[in-house]
Structure 1
Amino acid sequence: MIRVVPVNSKKELGSFIDFPHDLYDGDPNYVPELFIAQRDLLTKHPFVKHNPIQCFLAYHNNKVVGRIAAILNNHYNEFNNANDGFFGFFDCINNHEAAAALVAEVVKWLQEKKVSKLIGPVNFSTNEPSGLLIEGFDSPPVIQMTYNYSYYASLLEDAGLKKQIDLIAYNFGDDYNDRAFHMLDRLEERLNRGGITIRKLNLKDFKNEVNKLRTVYNSAWDKNSGFVPMTDEEFNYAANDLKLIVDPRFCCVAEHNGKAIGFVLTLPDINQVLINIKRGRLFPTGLMKLLWNKRKINGIRIYALGVLEEFRKRGIEAVLYGNVIKEYKVRGFHKAEASWILENNDMMNKAIIDINGSPYKTYRLYEKAI
């Protein structure tokens, strides 16, 4: 018999964070999240200060067999004039009864808050890791992308969830379209003549850069499915975390007459290191592995790219992508991922394909009327 209980204690929270390590034990593509980072995310992140969240654990014979979190994103509902609830942090053994029990508990919790639709998985919103992997199980996820067993889709679909939208991840290999890059160089020159310039991120002026990018971020994605603007506190929290690993050579800002109108943020794939840190523990040896192997990272993730609406359809997106991939080529890196892109974002998908990006992983958001 499956028993689902709310996570209310420090010990239960530890079990919630650690469950995936046991579930994916022996899976060569599993990347453990750092325990301390997950604990802080669930207890200290600015999001949890103004949005109710309840984590649940599923037990069978007193052994954890699944987990899930119910999330009420008040800011999302206000911004989108919606009445939706979310689920995230879903992991489960291949057992339909357990998965159905977890989803049912989330539905019950959200119904008490008068929510009419369930969407997920998101951890906590689309500003954080989102989507269920449905294609591309043959390689580890890159930084801040999700990973799961292939049977998860069946578990959720049998629990009554249906596809809302797919999210596409693109891979860039070593096959470069030199002609396309020459065209991008000419396009950038034309943009320059129109007062639009592309520059590298300036970490020495970090506070001002964050303020500029926050304005663009919260405006550039305003019509994306499922988007919710980040509060100043949330954006600053994320920025301070990313500052620890960001490489400004891979990050560019587009400006028009000195005003930021777009940017591309690229992160080194720290998952190449985390994959070897057992159970996400930095001590006693994990920290040394992290510091020592960080220099060996040879992959990147194009994490976020956006352009203000009034400056779109001028090729700025393609030029930003092109600048990152050219730097990637110069550095001799072996893997670059652009993720994720909504399947119906034709302009962005075309910009990536035009410089030889290939779709190689697909993630899915599900929904269910409740």
Structure 2
Amino acid sequence: METLQTSQQTVHAPVSGGVSAVTVIPVTTKKQLAQFIDFPHDLYKDDKNYVPELFIAQRDLLSPSKHPFYEHSSLQAFLAFKGNKIVGRIAAIDNKNHNAFNKKNDGFFGFFESINDIEVSQALFQTATTWLKERKLSTMIGPVNFSTNETCGLLIEGFDGPPVVMMPYNPPYYSKLIEQAGLTENVSLLAYKIIPQYMNDRPYRIMEVLQERLARRNITFRKVNLKKFDEEVKKIQAIYNSAWDKNLGFVPMTDKEFEYLAKDLKMILDPEFCIIAEENGKAIGFALAIPDLNQILIKIKRGRLLPTGIFKLLLGKKKINAVRVLTLGVLEPYRKLGIDGCLYGELMKTGRAKNVAYGEGSWILETNELMNAAMLGINADSYRKYRIYEKEI
């Protein structure tokens, strides 16, 4: 049987009276892993905005034999109990590629979920801190599930609806639990809601003029070619690993990691929403918007595709009426030429043709003045805020 352990510690949090003592154990078996994945379903059972993660996807993400992250780094998942009842979970993460690339000594926590109980959250953070310190890491940053290439951030504003695809969701009380554990703000992230009828469509209106000017430099735009998917993935990976190298906490994705992500995205990808900019056939920028799969996942009980979830997924895809602008980037030598405006324009053009009700642009660093100005310039609404915390350990 595959195990997940890298630590065998068991933590008993000191609680007055001893009757309700919190016990934290490492996840080491398939049964415990299933309990780790399923805990949020029970925690959020009365929350109409909760979207369950697909069980099979979470299982693979947390299994060393399934995900390429574990070829260079490590993660230890933990479960918190009061008596025989699971009351919380957390994962401690040692991302060696992040530290090598950024010349840092950071540790991370992710997959945090807890009942509204400071004793539980303190025990979980204490356990994660101990695991990170054992590996001689000097900070704890999170919530980050592996790195900023994956789901990250804690929702702190905008609890009025379900999250869009690949964005986090949590109860409002989590920020208090995290701050009571001594963590403070590292950075905040913004999500923008874009409603076509209220948009300033200037990028769309000037797109043709920009494209004609760029064509004189042999810069053109096209949709992704799914028949040459593997070749397209390599082109996009080269842009991704270069265009975002100065972003907060960025770490280049390995070939296997990017291929893993691309394989997942291909299942929901609409090629009309994946635009590549090229100069003489060389990819120099791209934009990707993906359908908001959460509109279907919210209806799939406990994230199980069987017996009926698979049909909801297959039949519901055509009814999705929203997209998330997941990423848009241009290689540094080609910035300030209007390429990004054309990429936005192409996404707008496609969205209008497909009668998309709304889109979300996320996430954008709160300190990224250029991107925030661009969002506000098209009358997008900054409607959700997320936060990443940190603490010296």
Alignment TM class, shorter chain as reference: over 0.9
- Deviation larger for 192-201 or 107-116: 192-201
Which residue number corresponds to residue 319 of structure 2? 296
Are residue 171 (structure 1) and residue 204 (structure 2) matched? no
**Residue from 74, 80, 91 that aligns with 1:58:** 80
Which residue number corresponds to residue 42 of structure 1? 62
Q: Give the deviation of 1:56 after TM superposition.
A: 0.5
Which residue number corresponds to residue 102 of structure 2? 80
RMSD, matched Cα: 1.1
Are residue 337 (structure 1) and residue 360 (structure 2) matched? yes
The residue matched to 2:130 in structure 1 has which SS?
helix
CA contact (8 A) 1:89 1:123 kept: yes
> What is the alpha-carbon distance in structure 1 between the residues aligned to residue 349 and residue 369 of structure 2?
23
> What is the alpha-carbon distance in structure 2 between the residues aligned to residue 190 and residue 357 of structure 1?
27
**Residue from 106, 109, 116 that aligns with 1:94:** 116
CA contact (8 A) 1:122 1:130 kept: yes
**Residue from 240, 250, 253 that aligns with 1:230:** 253
> What is the alpha-carbon distance in structure 2 between the residues aligned to residue 316 and residue 346 of structure 1?
18
The residue matched to 2:378 in structure 1 has which SS?
coil
Correspondence list, 1:97-246, <5 A:
97-173=119-195, 174-246=197-269
**What residue identity is the alignment partner of 2:257?**
E
The residue matched to 1:254 in structure 2 has which SS?
strand
Which residue number corresponds to residue 282 of structure 2? 259
Q: Give the deviation of 1:192 after TM superposition.
A: 2.2
CA contact (8 A) 1:168 1:362 kept: yes
Which residue number corresponds to residue 277 of structure 1? 300
CA contact (8 A) 2:239 2:285 kept: yes
CA contact (8 A) 1:317 1:348 kept: no
> What is the alpha-carbon distance in structure 2 between the residues aligned to residue 323 and residue 179 of structure 1?
12
**Residue from 352, 362, 368 that aligns with 2:385:** 362
**What residue identity is the alignment partner of 1:59?**
F
Q: Give the deviation of 1:358 after TM superposition.
A: 1.7
Identity of matched residues, %: 58
**Residue from 323, 339, 355 that aligns with 1:316:** 339
Q: Give the deviation of 1:179 after TM superposition.
A: 4.2
Q: Give the deviation of 1:292 after TM superposition.
A: 1.3
Which residue number corresponds to residue 38 of structure 2? 18
> What is the alpha-carbon distance in structure 1 between the residues aligned to residue 136 and residue 276 of structure 2?
42
Q: Deviations over 1:149-187 (max 9, x none)?
A: 011011100100000011111111131324453133322
CA contact (8 A) 1:171 1:357 kept: yes
CA contact (8 A) 1:53 1:70 kept: yes
**What residue identity is the alignment partner of 1:25?**
K
CA contact (8 A) 1:318 1:351 kept: no
Q: Give the deviation of 1:352 after TM superposition.
A: 2.4
CA contact (8 A) 2:204 2:348 kept: no
> What is the alpha-carbon distance in structure 2 between the residues aligned to residue 213 and residue 179 of structure 1?
27
TM score, norm. by length of structure 2: 0.92
Q: Give the deviation of 1:100 after TM superposition.
A: 1.1
**What residue identity is the alignment partner of 1:29?**
N
CA contact (8 A) 1:317 1:351 kept: no
CA contact (8 A) 1:264 1:305 kept: yes
Count matched residues.
Answer: 370
Q: Give the deviation of 1:283 after TM superposition.
A: 1.0
Name structure 2 gaps, 5 residues minimum.
1-20
TM score, norm. by length of structure 1: 0.98
- Deviation larger for 73-82 or 170-179: 170-179
Q: Give the deviation of 1:289 after TM superposition.
A: 1.1
The residue matched to 2:362 in structure 1 has which SS?
strand
Q: Deviations over 1:238-257 (max 9, x none)?
A: 11111111001011011122
The residue matched to 1:206 in structure 2 has which SS?
helix
**What residue identity is the alignment partner of 1:47?**
F
Are residue 350 (structure 1) and residue 373 (structure 2) matched? yes
The residue matched to 1:170 in structure 2 has which SS?
strand
> What is the alpha-carbon distance in structure 1 between the residues aligned to residue 88 and residue 160 of structure 2?
23
**What residue identity is the alignment partner of 2:210?**
L
Q: Give the deviation of 1:142 after TM superposition.
A: 0.8
Q: Give the deviation of 1:328 after TM superposition.
A: 0.8
> What is the alpha-carbon distance in structure 2 between the residues aligned to residue 101 and residue 318 of structure 1?
48
> What is the alpha-carbon distance in structure 2 between the residues aligned to residue 314 and residue 358 of structure 1?
26
- Deviation larger for 310-319 or 70-79: 310-319
**What residue identity is the alignment partner of 1:53?**
L
Q: Deviations over 1:127-158 (max 9, x none)?
A: 11110001111011111110000110111001
> What is the alpha-carbon distance in structure 1 between the residues aligned to residue 43 and residue 213 of structure 2?
53
**What residue identity is the alignment partner of 2:273?**
F
Q: Deviations over 1:31-90 (max 9, x none)?
A: 000111100111111102321110001111221111000000000000000100001000
> What is the alpha-carbon distance in structure 2 between the residues aligned to residue 330 and residue 128 of structure 1?
30
**What residue identity is the alignment partner of 1:169?**
A
> What is the alpha-carbon distance in structure 2 between the residues aligned to residue 184 and residue 248 of structure 1?
20
CA contact (8 A) 1:267 1:303 kept: yes
